[in-house]
Structure formats: structure tokens, C-alpha cells
Structure 1
Amino acid sequence: MRELSAKLAELRGQLESFGTGATARLTPLRGGVDSLSGKLAQTLGALRPEVSTVDGSLTGKIEALDAELANLEP
């Protein structure tokens, strides 16, 4: 029974050690991911006006071609 209790205490210690180590490794990684996601959102926000301009231009061209095609149909 003492051997089982000792083994259980050893495993509990290993688990606590692993948890502490994992937290220490994951905390800086989470900060890095948060930083990168903020930069990505900022970049996408900066691109949005340019994409909207291109989208508007292409939509206008498509509508003009549709009107031209409609005039050609009998």
C-alpha cells in the first residue's frame, strides 16, 4: 500500500510539474498569437477600401457588359 501511495505521489508531482511547464511555455505563445492576430486585423482593415474600390469597378463593368449583351439578344 505504501508503494502504491508513493507511486501516486510521484505521478501527482509529475503532473503538477508538467502543468507548470506547459503554462510557462504556452503563455508567451498566446501573447505572440494575439499580437499577430492584431496585426492581421489591422492589415485587412487597411486593404478593405482598396478592395471595395476594385469591387465597385468590376461590378460596374459587369453591369455594362450585361446591358450590352441584353441589347444584342433578339
Structure 2
Amino acid sequence: MPPNDVLHIDARGMKCPWPVLRAARAMRSARSVTIHADDPIAPGELQALADQHGWRFTINDAHLFALERP
């Protein structure tokens, strides 16, 4: 996958840390990732991951999030 393409992860039904681990793995090769996750703690965990790496974290919908490199 080219690094400028947005990668989508469907992590619905997965409990943390799985959505975050999948997002971190995807960000190894992608510039931007969207994540569908319905675990209630996923937003906080994704925010922490973004903060740790200096990425931008956005909440696009109730269960749709995005990570992006600056």
C-alpha cells in the first residue's frame, strides 16, 4: 500500500487493546488510518497512542476515529 493511502481498520466487536494494536501496526506503513471501534475505552487508548507518537487523532463519528501523521 502506498504510504499516502488511507487504510481502514474494522475493529468493531474487539476489546482493547486489539483496536489500538491494529492501528499501531497499520501506522507503520500508512500515513493515515481510520478505525471503526465500538469498545468504549478505544477513543482514550487511541488518543494516548497518537500522543505518544505525535500523530493527530480525530473523532469522526461515535465509533469512527482517525490517526494521521503530521
Category of TM-score, reference length = shorter chain: under 0.3
TM-score (norm 1): 0.21
The structure number with the bigger radius of gyration is 1
TM-score (norm 2): 0.22
Hey, which of these two has a bigger chunk of helix by percent?
A: 1
